[in-house]
Structure 1
Amino acid sequence: MSDTTHSLLPTSAETSHFVRQTGDEPPAQEAPIRAKRRPQYGQIVTGLVAIALLVLFVQSQARNTNMEWGVTWQYMFNPVVLQGVGVTIQLALFAMLISIVLAFVIALMIQSNNKVASVIGRAYVWFFRGVPMLVQVLLWFNLAVLFPVILGQETNSLISGFTAGLIALSLAESGYMAEIIRGGIISVPAGQTDAGVSIGLTRNQALARIVLPQSIRVIIPPTGNQFIGMLKATSLVSVIGGSDLLTRVQLIYGQNFKILPLLMVAVLWYLILVTIAGTGQHFLERRFNASQPGSRKARTTAGLGTTITRTIIGGAPWRK
């Protein structure tokens, strides 16, 4: 070894300087260090202005005699209105469940290697996304014009306003949900499916055990948004007397001519339903998305990170 190379290597005296001796450990830190945040004056001012404008708006509407809030509160929990709320919830839930099942099949058809199935799936999405939902409601309600008799019974007796609305909402929504599910599937790299096949899984098993569990977190947020849209879209069946919330409200103000107060009843109930659905979506996203602070995996990871930090700093034993 040359003298130059030997001179670059640290001596034993120099290397001993980097070895931590017993008793040199830094003191254990029981509480985490928290950085002090600076006051956000612009945020505070904006919030105060927004609150002031909201108070002024509420105050102006509360004192507006034309709103007739007494009539609104009188009919808020009217049995007829509550029946309409129940029908609205049923329409939204059943239509969403049916559309998800149909959309899953259509998404698989589009992703299939079978060209015929792929074309049929794309044509399905093209048609039901292209035709307005209101037009589909009217078409299904007037199906008796094309087919007066179905399965030996009159079409008008088979397809009521509720049934026509349910069919139209389900088919129209399935066109959108098919693209959402397809987007969730293609968000998972194709190499993961190939890896599953390489260890002996069939492609269907790889889809069920590898792809779908990972795509759920991508599918849930837009699905929750679509369900909220479905709650509002149920009002379209009012044009065919679907017995939903808006239909019941229209029947009432058609008798007492209190149009604005009764419409406010519908507005408040739709806001309540949307708020409940949005809250459920929030907790569902936290449950399935590991990057959200409240998810189970995030809590587990955070606990593990705290354990590792305390072990490194304070010399505490590892915890399982």
Structure 2
Amino acid sequence: MTKTVPSPEPGKTAHELPVPIKAVPVRHYGRWVGAAAVLAVLGLLVWAFAGADVDWGVVGDYLDHDTIIEGAGKTLWITLLSMLLGVALGVLLAVMRLSRNPVLSSVAWGYIWFFRGTPVLVQLFLWYNLSFVFDTVNLGPLYKNEMNDVMTPFLAALLGLGLNEAAYMAEIARAGILSVDPGQTEAAHALGMSGAKTTRRIVLPQAMRVIIPPTGNEFINMLKTSSLVYAIQYTELFRASTTISSRNLAVMELLLVATVWYLVLTTVFSIGQYYLERHYARGTNRALPATPLQRVRAQLTSLRSPSQVGGTSI
């Protein structure tokens, strides 16, 4: 098969024809300088910790210690229960806040104002020391007991974390509800649906697209905030590590053990949060964000040497 050469345009000779453009990529030297500086700083940090007075053998020995693992389990347990309480109460408060009933909206506003305006640690101590105000819990014929027996460290931690989280979840849920087009509610009312049924069947399912991603972030934040309950004698991960270090005096080593466990737990749930957000972004984004594996693959591809694309040198 013979290759045909295009004839020159009228009035032009063959040597005047345009030649293919050779594209040369722009060199970003600043990026490489910045990357080298960051790697140098990281290298100095690794070198400093490697030469520090830390017994890394102790760190490795206590990573799977029974007390540490039990503390990590209690951290997860109190985080899950507190988050469930916060989400359930937060959605209820959001609906109350948006209600046209002035009593309901005012009570919801006052709850959010109080719990967002006071530190979590103060709230934990308020619940833990409730026996100074109420000696007994008296529910008539249903239940009666001493407050000290009722308000255990676990219950105080659950109420302190869960009720505080409800104030933040209420604002997240309210933002999600307000993101739904009011026409959806009007259409539901036109079909004869009640206000409660409209909220449950129409508004909340659509609001979940806005509510779910920040809720995942709140869960990760709750996982770290749960370390505050050590102050009310609840033996979670941080208190478990400090209890061991008070016996063997390996304070820094046990703090590093707790740090590693917190990093592992938050990393696992951060990955879950990423894919959850990616799932709920399907209805709004034209193209889903790349997964971590796809990002790594793209970075490796970009580091290859220039290749011929479409017959043009790049």
Compute the TM-score of the two structures, normalised by the length of structure 1.
0.76
Match of 2:156 in 1: 164
Alignment of 1:272-287 (within 5 A): 272-287=264-279
Of 84, 89, 92, the residue aligned with 1:105 is 92
Match of 2:295 in 1: none
CA displacement 1:32-74 (0-9 Å, x = unmatched): xxxx98665433432333233212211221121x122221111
Match of 1:153, SS state, is strand
Q: CA deviation at 1:181?
A: 0.5
Moved more, 142-151 or 97-106: 142-151
Of 55, 63, 69, the residue aligned with 2:43 is 55
Identity, % of aligned positions:
40
Amino acid corresponding to residue 49 of structure 1 in structure 2: A
Q: CA deviation at 1:196?
A: 2.4
Q: CA deviation at 1:235?
A: 0.7
Match of 2:251 in 1: 259
The reply to whether residue 155 of structure 1 matches residue 147 of structure 2 is yes
Distance 1:219 1:47 in 2: 37
CA displacement 1:184-228 (0-9 Å, x = unmatched): 111123222112222343333332333222221211222112111
Amino acid corresponding to residue 37 of structure 2 in structure 1: V
Distance 1:235 1:177 in 2: 20
Amino acid corresponding to residue 230 of structure 1 in structure 2: M
CA displacement 1:261-288 (0-9 Å, x = unmatched): 1111111111111111111110111111
Gaps of at least 5 residues in structure 2 are: 1-23, 138-142, 290-314
Of 174, 182, 186, the residue aligned with 2:178 is 186
Q: Which has the higher helix share?
A: 1
Q: CA deviation at 1:167?
A: 0.9
Residue 139 and residue 75 in structure 1: after superposition, are their counterparts in 2 closer, same or farther (change >3 A)?
Answer: same
Match of 2:74 in 1: 87
Of 46, 49, 59, the residue aligned with 1:72 is 59
Match of 1:121 in 2: 108
Amino acid corresponding to residue 172 of structure 2 in structure 1: I
Match of 2:61, SS state, is helix
Match of 1:209 in 2: 201
Compute the TM-score of the two structures, normalised by the length of structure 2.
0.78
- 4+ residue stretches of structure 1 with deviation over 4 A? 36-41
CA displacement 1:148-173 (0-9 Å, x = unmatched): 21132122122211111111100011
Of 145, 152, 162, the residue aligned with 2:132 is 145
Amino acid corresponding to residue 135 of structure 1 in structure 2: V
Amino acid corresponding to residue 51 of structure 2 in structure 1: R
Residue 178 and residue 163 in structure 1: after superposition, are their counterparts in 2 closer, same or farther (change >3 A)?
Answer: same
Residue 289 and residue 209 in structure 1: after superposition, are their counterparts in 2 closer, same or farther (change >3 A)?
Answer: farther
